[in-house]
Amino acid sequence: MYSIEANQLTKQFGEFTAVDHICFQVREGEIFGFLGANGAGKTTAIKMMSGLLLPTSGTATIAGYDILTQSKLIKKSIGYMSQKFSLYGDLTVFENMQLFGTIYGIPRRELKDRIMASLRELDMDKQANTLVDSIPLGWKQKLAFATAILHRPKIVFLDEPTSGVDPIVRREFWKLIYQAASKGVTILVTTHYMDEAEYCNRISIMAEGQIKLIGTPEELKQQMGVDTINDVFVKFVKR
């Protein structure tokens, strides 16, 4: 069974078609990369799949639930990390996790332990009582990821989680993604760093709202006869 299955998913804003009849499947535990230039429609697609935006036509099933009719059930089984950092800056690290943990219904006696365990993994347990506004961006992104998976969702949507973050933190961030995937979490991640695409199990390249290429990084490189995903992308854009 597929974790994510998009079927002719389309979003139009007036005359402009942001996402144009995309179809793809993501298997359970897979790390699926959404690549594409800015404005290719990646964020719009993610917002539809996570229930923030209603599609114009087509549909998708997420964890077996339909996005048109079962959005409440979907919301219980997904985690989401927005392109724009969106935790509360005037709450502490712990308070943010406590707030979202509570909303997701993590039992009270379990919540505190889970938060502390998660912070220890990030090496952030000392910052538990620091206001989120005052920690550096890289840490904020790691925190946002930890918060998004605190309720142990089946699927996590990550919208450009590493944009604006230094290479070291990016590497650490991908370590976290691998850790989560190894526990069976399906991950859909958008990025425009082509080197990150190499870390994905499978990738798709979007342009003008359509999925132009899809496959494992190896397949795509062979298909285009180049050595890196970066070259795949450049060649694809020139074509």
Partner 1 sequence: MRIILMLIKKEFLQVFRNPLLLSILVVAPLVEFMIFPFCADYEIKVLDIAFIDNDRSQVSRDIINKFNASGIFVPHGLLESKEKADAMMKHDRIDILIEFPHNFEQDLYNRQNTRIAITANAINSVKAGIGTGYAQEIIGGYMQDFAIANGSGSMQAMAAQLQAQQAAAQQQRKGSKTTSIQSDSPIMAEQAASIDISNVYWYNEQMNYKNLIVPGILVILVTLIGCYVTALNLVREKEIGTIEQVNVTPIKRWQFLLGKMIPFWLLGMVEFIAGLLIMKFVFGISVQGSIPLLLGITAIYLLVMLGLGFFISSVSENQLQSMFIVLFLFIVFVLLSGVFTPTEGMPEWAHKINYLNPMSFYIEVIKKIILKGSEFVSVQKETIVLSIMAVLINTGAILSYREASK
Count interface residues toward partner 1 (CB under 8 A): 30
Q: Which is nearer to partner 1, 84 or 238 (CB)?
A: 84
- Residue identified by tokens 């499947």 is 25
Cα–Cα distance for residue pair 165/203, rounded to 1 Å: 21
Nearer to partner 1, 81 or 205 (CB): 81
Rounded CA gap, 154 and 18, in Å?
A: 27
Q: Which region among 18-26, 36-44, 91-99, 171-179 touches partner 1 (by CB under 8 A)?
A: 91-99
Residues 97-156 that bind partner 1 (CB under 8 A): 98-100, 102-105, 108, 131
95 vs 125 by CB, closer to partner 1: 95
Closest Cα to residue 78, out of 181, 190, 187, 176? 187
Q: Are residues 66 and 55 in contact, defined by beta-carbon separation less than 8 angstroms?
A: no
Min. distance of Cβ 209 from partner 1 in angstroms?
18
58 versus 217: smaller Cβ distance to partner 1: 58
Smallest gap from residue 229 Cβ to partner 1 (A)? 29
Cα 138-162-207 angle, rounded to 5 deg: 165
| Selected binder of partner 1 within 53, 176, 181, 224 (CB under 8 A) | 53
Residues of span 195-214 touching partner 1 by CB under 8 A? none
In the complex, minimum distance from the CB of residue 99 to partner 1, in angstroms, rounded to a whole number: 5
Beta-strand relationship, 65-66 and 78-81: unpaired
Rounded to the nearest 10 degrees, how much is the dihedral formed by the CA atoms of 143, 148, 151, 153? -140
Structure tokens at 12: 């139009």
> In this chain, which of 3, 10, 44, 50 binds partner 1, going by CB under 8 A?
50
Query: Taking contact as CB under 8 A, which single stretch among the options 82-90, 170-178, 210-218, 226-234 is the one that binds partner 1?
Result: 82-90
Smallest distance, partner 1 to C-beta of residue 237, A: 30
Return the number of the residue (82 or 190) whose C-beta is nearest partner 1. 82
Cα 30 to Cα 26, 35, 58, 134: the distances in Å are 7, 16, 23, 34
Q: Which residue shows structure tokens 């190894």?
A: 182
User: Quick one: which segment of 18-26, 44-52, 121-129, 185-193 binds partner 1 (CB under 8 A)?
Assistant: 44-52
**In whole angstroms, what is the distance from residue 141 CA to residue 127 CA?**
14
Beta carbon of residue 194, minimum distance to partner 1 (angstroms, whole number): 27
**Cα gap 145→156, rounded to integer Å:** 9
Residues in contact with partner 1 by CB under 8 A are 50-54, 71-72, 75-76, 78, 80, 82, 84-91, 95, 98-100, 102-105, 108, 131
